[in-house]
Amino acid sequence: MAQTKDEGKTMGVKFNREYEAIIDELTDAIGGVEGVHEWLEMEAADWEALEEDERAECVRTMADDLFYGLGADPVMKLSGATLAYDKGSHVIKIAYADNVIRAIRLI
Chain segment 27-76, per-residue pLDDT in tens: 999 998 888 999 889 999 999 999 999 999 999 999 999 999 999 999 99
- Give percent of the chain above pLDDT 70: 90
Q: Is the pLDDT of residue 4 over 60?
A: no
pLDDT of residue 1: 38
Q: Residue 53, CB half-sphere, CA atoms under 13 Å: how many?
A: 0
pLDDT, the chain, mean: 87
Global pTM value: 0.83
Residue 92: exposure state from Cβ atoms within 10 A (0-12, 13-18, ≥19): buried
| Distance between start and end Cα atoms, the chain | 12
Q: Are 87 and 14 in contact (CB under 8 A)?
A: yes
Q: What angle do CA 79, 62, 9 make, to 5 degrees?
A: 130
